[in-house]
Homo-oligomer: A and B are copies of this chain.
Amino acid sequence: MSKKDSPAPDLETLRHSASHVLAAAVMEMFPDAKLGIGPAIEGGFYYDFMLPRTLIPEDLVLIEKKMQHLIKQNLKFEKYEEPIDQAEEFLKKTEQILKVELVADLKKEGEQKVSFYKTGDFVDLCRGPHVESTKELKAVKLTHISGSYWRGDSDRVQLQRIYGVAFASKEELAKWEEQMREAAKRDHRELGKKLDLFSFHPEAPGAAFWHPRGKFVYDALLDFIKQENEKRGYQEIGTPIVLSSDLWHQSGHYENFKENMYFTEFEEREFAVKPMNCPGGCLLFAERAPSYRELPIKNAEFGIVHRLELSGVLHGLLRVREFRQDDAHVYCTPEQLEDEIVKIIEYTTDVYKHFGFDDYELFLATRPPKKAIGSEEVWERSTKALENAMKKLKLKWGVKEGEGAFYGPKIEFNVKDAIGRNWQLGTCQIDFNLPERFDLNYIAPDGAKHRPVMIHRAIIGSFERFLAVLIEHTSGDLPLDLQPEVARIVPVAGEFLEAAEKFARELKAKKVRIGVDRSADSLSKKIRNGELMKIPFLIIVGEKEAKSGKLTVRERGKKEQQSLALTELTKKLS
């Protein structure tokens, strides 16, 4: 999909051009720098360098200044081509040893010519395209430095990678910066610590330790989905975590997902820690062929799955190695398929609205170009069914070409959070392949065995990821039903602790999730702590309250305090 001819440069071209300016600036600073590669990426760009010393954050300021200086000169991006041997010689002469390697590879592939782009004094081996001139780079900013390996291979030389962002206008950059500031305040990793919800330890990279408060939130979310599932005719199953490689061969995961799986061995048999719940669910379904009267069968499984992710890309609860999914597999007849997809879409968006995600988008992810199982015809049929269901609901959708799962196309659900960021959460995937591979059958009215269609669906997706998004969306002011401590009693001084405990017992008996501040802190510190922990209601108990039985209540986000009798308060809180 070349975007060369569009009148305004698209963001990808803009960002790629910014990476050249970055490289030019770095070459000014370190004339001996060896250039790696410098692509545009989602949200920005980077460039990899081999440098005589390690960069420090202050370097970014200097490099950015040099970039601005180059940009102001309004330098043209000039393309020229050269025979490949000549190009190789040039790169050898300029000692760009990494580029020499790239050219050598192109030569091996049979390339005759290569192109360069020249910007001022800076020349880079590059296919392009680029913007016309540096003046189009109106809003560029460097963000951070990280380590990387040449060609992503940990046996090769380590490089330094500089990341940046680029936008079409200063306004868009300003908006992005504001979003970043907002995001930093809402960072779920920080809030997770502050609210005492979860932690991470180096002994388990990418796997959360849930503290009591966080475990409450996690389980409250789980219970909510369980209840919704039950209302909608789902039943729950549970399948093992460690399953033999035979199964993963049968399902196709071994061939298509192996690099993301943990393997282990016992009694000369290879096992994998499951990265998905589906194959186990198929084994269970395959135990008997149900009657068509029982279909659709909707088996939910809140399985814990493990997927390998490089340490470098792990990020709080957003990118983890261990997570729980609100998985379900719906087995139905081909005739029931569209209706079931409609129901799943409605269910999914209902849940998002329940959690305050009123703004969501749907994407249709189609057959991946490389790894995919099953015939073209089956892929087409499945894709059609997803489209029809969305049409029936009069929904609009985008298309993610080639981003389907290896076993079938899917609808991806994205929500927009309070500061405008998009998060992919749920999916609804059609699968004609696993039923075939696991010989799944139902007994049709004709008494014969028929193949059911299988729909994989997850609404919140990963519990871990969903909670990260929800925490950032709400800045930690979680919905009341997910609040581990709906109210906290704050005694004015130690002598009122007993009265506070008495009130707490009464509220607890009414199923109010109540806490008591038993610390020796001052009243103002206790109130501040309660506010930092984002407790929805702080209840002050002093002499007046202990005597009158009327409690002073501070509701989060409201200025006035209220004076309420215990029965009124109980009503308010439950």
Q: Which residues of A contact B (CB under 8 A)?
A: 199, 201-204, 207-212, 214-216, 218-219, 235-244, 246-247, 262-264, 266-267, 271, 273, 280, 283-284, 287, 293, 299, 304, 306, 308, 310-311, 321-322, 518
Give which listed residue, B214, B216, B242, B244, contacts A262 with CB less than 8 A. B242
Give CA–CA (A386, B273) in the complex, Å: 38
Could you show 9 A-B contacts with beta carbons less than 8 Å apart? A202-B244, A204-B247, A210-B237, A212-B237, A215-B238, A218-B238, A242-B321, A242-B322, A262-B266
CA distance A270 to B241 in the complex (A): 19
Residue of B nearest to A240 (CB): B207
Q: Chain B's nearest CB lies how many Å from the CB of A262?
A: 4
Establish whether residues B280 and A271, one from each chain, have CB atoms under 8 Å apart when the complex forms: no
Further pairs besides A207-B242, A242-B273, A267-B310: 18, Cβ < 8 Å: A202-B244, A203-B283, A204-B239, A204-B240, A204-B242, A204-B247, A208-B240, A209-B239, A210-B238, A210-B239, A212-B235, A240-B322, A241-B241, A241-B304, A241-B306, A242-B262, A273-B273, A304-B304
Contact indicator A284/B321 (Cβ below 8 Å): no
Nearest-CB residue, chain B, relative to A272: B264
Pair A215/B243 contact, Cβ less than 8 Å: no
CA distance A210 to B310 in the complex (A): 33
Smallest CB–CB gap between A327 and chain B, Å? 13
- Min CB distance, A104 to chain B, in Å? 30
> Measured between C-beta atoms, what is the minimum distance from A464 to chain B in Å?
11
Could you tell me the distance between the alpha carbons of A37 and B204 in the complex, rounded to whole angstroms? Answer: 46
How far apart sit A199 and B470, CA to CA, in the bound complex (Å)?
A: 37
Question: A322: which B residues are within 8 A, CB to CB?
Answer: 240-242
Beyond A241-B306, A263-B264, whether A219 also contacts B236 by CB under 8 A is: yes
Q: Are B203 and A215 in contact (CB under 8 A)?
A: no
Q: In the bound complex, what is the Cα–Cα distance between A241 and B320 (angstroms)?
A: 13
Return A194 CB to nearest CB of chain B, in Å. 13
Q: Nearest B residue to A299 by beta-carbon distance?
A: B212
Contacts of A219 in B (CB 8 A): 236
The distance from the CB of A36 to the nearest CB of chain B, in whole angstroms, is: 22
Residue of B nearest to A207 (CB): B240
Contact of A209 among B214, B273, B284 (CB under 8 A): B284
* Contact partner, A199, options B202, B214, B262, B287, Cβ 8 Å: B287
Which residues of the other chain, B, contact A237 by a CB distance below 8 angstroms? 209-212, 215
The answer for the CA separation of A244 and B236 in the assembled complex, in Å, is 32
When distances are taken between beta carbons in the complex, the residues of chain B under 8 Å from A218 are: 238
Tell me which residues across on chain B come within 8 A of A203, comparing CB atoms.
243-244, 246-247, 283
User: Chain B residues with Cβ under 8 A from A247's Cβ?
Assistant: 203-204
- Known contacts A241-B322, A247-B203, A271-B262; A518/B212 CB under 8 A: no
Known interface pairs A201-B283, A262-B266, A273-B273; A215-B236 also in contact (CB < 8 Å):
yes
Q: Please state if A199 and B243 are interface contacts (CB–CB under 8 Å).
A: no
- Docked CA distance A304–B302 (Å): 13
CB distance from A515 to the nearest CB of B (A): 12
With contact pairs A236-B212, A238-B218 given, residues A204 and B308 touching in the complex (Cβ less than 8 Å): no
Find chain B residues with CB under 8 A from A240 CB: 204, 207-209, 322
Nearest-neighbour CB distance to chain B for A313, whole angstroms, equals 12
Residues of B within 8 Å of A243, CB to CB, are 203-204, 207
Please give, as numbers and ranges, the residues of chain B lying within 8 Å of A235 by CB-CB distance: 212, 215
Cα distance, A212 to B239, chains bound together (Å) = 11
A216 contact set on B, CB distance < 8 A: 236
Cα(A293)–Cα(B322), bound, Å: 34
Q: Which residues of B contact A208 (CB under 8 A)?
A: 238, 240
Q: Are A266 and B308 neighbours in the complex by a CB distance under 8 Å?
A: yes
Are B321 and A280 in contact, CB atoms less than 8 angstroms apart?
no
